[in-house]
Amino acid sequence: MENIQKIETITPYEAGQKLHMNAETVRAGLRQGKFPFGTAMQGKTGRWTYLIIKNKFLDYIGERR
């Protein structure tokens, strides 16, 4: 398992800054499955967790390194 690389992520706030929208709009889009760069998961307590994969996000906005 020594070849496992850390996947870089960004927050809904950081994504919102690049997309010119607020973080809650990004969160709502992730909850509804509207964005191809991440996902939202709801835990047993009802709290949402958001995962935005940086490379997928950069591809989406056309800024891949």
Asked if residue 4 is part of any domain, the answer here is: no
Task: Establish if 1 belongs to a structural domain.
Answer: no
The mean of the pLDDT values for the chain is 94
3-class state of residue 22 by DSSP = coil
**How high is the pLDDT of residue 36?**
96
Instruction: Print the domain residue range for 33.
Output: 9-61
> Is 42 a domain residue?
yes
**Considering its fold, how many domains does the chain have in total?**
1
- Spatial CA neighbour of 15 closest among 27, 5, 6, 3: 27
- Quick check: helix, strand or coil at residue 39? strand
Q: Is 56 within a domain?
A: yes
Q: Does some domain include residue 19?
A: yes
State the Rg of the chain over Cα.
13
Residue 2 in any domain: the answer is no
Q: What is the structure's pLDDT at 65?
A: 58
The pTM score is 0.85
Q: Is residue 34 included in any domain, yes or no?
A: yes
> What residue ranges of the chain have pLDDT lower than 70?
1, 65
